[in-house]
Amino acid sequence: MSIAVRSEGGGMRRAEQREQTRQTLVRQSRLLFAARGYPAVGLAQIVAAAGVTKGALYHHFDSKADIFRAVLEQVQQEVAEQIVTAAEAQPDSWTRLTAGCRAFLTASTAPGVQQIMLIDGPAVLGWAEWRALDEAASARHLAEALADLVADGTIPAQPVAPLAHLLSGAMNEAALWLATTTTPNALDHTWAALARLLHGLRVH
Comparing CA positions, the residue from 73, 203, 77 lying closest to residue 141 is 77
175 located within any domain: yes
Residue 72 belongs to a domain: yes
Rounded-to-integer distance, Cα 40 and Cα 85, Å:
34
Are residues 80 and 45 part of one domain?
no
| pLDDT (0 to 100) of residue 203 | 87
Q: What is the mean pLDDT of residues 80-101?
A: 95
What average pLDDT does this structure show over 159-184? 91
- Cβ 28 vs Cβ 70: under 8 Å: no
- 121/150 same-domain check: yes
In a domain, 2, yes or no: no
Q: Is the model's pLDDT at 12 over the cut of 80?
A: no
CB 29 within 8 A of CB 71: yes
Q: Is residue 1 part of a domain?
A: no
* Structural domain total, the chain: 2
* Most distant CA atoms of the chain, gap in Å: 73
Mean per-residue pLDDT over the chain, rounded: 91
Q: pLDDT band for position 101 (50/70/90)? A: very high
Is the CB of residue 78 less than 8 Å from the CB of residue 108? no
Quickly state the pLDDT bin for 194 (edges 50, 70, 90). very high
130 and 74 in a common domain: yes
Inform me whether the pLDDT recorded for 6 exceeds 80. no
- First and final C-alpha spacing in the chain: 73
Q: Are 96 and 13 in a shared domain?
A: no
Pair (195, 101) in one structural domain: yes
The CATH number that applies at residue 57 is 1.10.10
- Per-residue pLDDT, averaged over 44-62, amounts to 95
Domain boundary among 61, 76, 95: 61
Q: Do 94 and 152 reside in the same domain of the chain?
A: yes
Mean pLDDT value of segment 118-135: 90
Tell me, yes or no, whether 103 and 146 share the same domain: yes
Asked whether residue 129 is assigned to any structural domain, the reply reads yes
Does residue 57 carry a pLDDT above 80?
Answer: yes
50 and 86 inside one domain: no
Domain that holds residue 17: 7-61
Average pLDDT over residues 157-183: 92
Confidence of residue 86 (pLDDT cuts 50, 70, 90): very high
Is the model's pLDDT at 10 over the cut of 80?
no
pLDDT at 14: 83
